[in-house]
């Protein structure tokens, strides 16, 4: 098998459908890459060669393609969660950062400001959740995130 691990986690978009890299295998015509639709429960594959030339067209999907705006909104929400987890910025600042970066066409797909704020707060509660009490002092490990003084958002 060729060293195509480099494709793992890669995504491709064809006709608005998103495909994840599935596996690669050798054929007489060279390495083929198999990609599978990202939609839950859908197994429509595409075959390409390593130059991303389509070798086998996908069958018809039994679902609509994910809406591009919806996808962009998901990415924006994930980014907000990341900022919430990794910084001490105020909740409202995190929400503004998320909203400022998305195109106007995507804003409608985002949850409301208050829903976004709630999401940021919820993400932080998860992060703040302390580890269980140690049974003995020598088991005590203070996670890095508790080693600093935390500021409330
Ligand atoms: Zn599909």
Distance from residue 17's CA to the centre of ligand 1 (Å): 7
- pTM of whole model > 0.95? no
Q: What is the pLDDT of residues 15-38, one digit of tens each?
A: 888 899 999 999 998 999 999 998
Distance from residue 123's CA to the centre of ligand 1 (Å): 30
Q: What is the pLDDT of residues 31-88, one digit of tens each?
A: 999 999 988 899 999 999 999 899 988 999 988 888 777 778 888 888 899 999 888 8
Q: Answer for the pair 4, 22: CB distance below 8 angstroms, yes or no.
A: no
Model pLDDT, residue 26? 95
Residue that has been written with the tokens 């130059």 in this structure? 51
Residues, CB-to-ion distance under 5 Å, ligand 1: 37, 39, 42, 44, 61
Which of 65, 76, 64 has its CA nearest to residue 104? 76
Asked if residue 127 has pLDDT above 90, the reply is no
Distance from residue 38's CA to the centre of ligand 1 (Å): 6
Distance from residue 115's CA to the centre of ligand 1 (Å): 30
Output the average pLDDT for the chain.
Answer: 83
Distance from residue 72's CA to the centre of ligand 1 (Å): 18
At residue 3 the predicted structure's pLDDT band, cuts being 50, 70 and 90, is very low
Q: What ranges do the domains of the chain cover?
A: 5-56, 68-146
Distance from residue 64's CA to the centre of ligand 1 (Å): 8
Distance from residue 68's CA to the centre of ligand 1 (Å): 15
3-19 burial: b if 16+ Cβ within 10 Å, else e? ebeebeeeebebeebbb
Q: Answer for the pair 75, 61: CB distance below 8 angstroms, yes or no.
A: no
Asked if residue 2 has pLDDT above 50, the reply is no
């Amino acid at each position: 098998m060729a060293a195509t691990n480099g494709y793992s986690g890669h995504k491709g978009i064809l006709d608005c459908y998103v495909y994840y890299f599935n596996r690669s295998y050798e054929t007489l015509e060279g390495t083929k890459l198999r990609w599978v639709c990202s939609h839950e429960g859908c197994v429509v594959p595409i075959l390409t060669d390593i130059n991303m030339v389509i070798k086998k067209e996908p069958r018809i999907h039994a679902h609509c393609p994910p809406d591009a705006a919806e996808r962009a909104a998901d990415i924006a929400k994930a980014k907000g969660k990341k900022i919430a987890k990794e910084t001490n910025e105020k909740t409202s600042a995190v929400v503004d950062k998320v909203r400022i970066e998305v195109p106007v066409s995507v804003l409608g797909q985002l949850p409301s400001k208050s829903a976004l704020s709630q999401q940021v707060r919820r993400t932080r509660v998860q992060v703040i959740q302390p580890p269980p009490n140690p049974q003995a002092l020598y088991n005590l490990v203070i996670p890095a995130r508790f080693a600093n003084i935390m500021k409330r958002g």
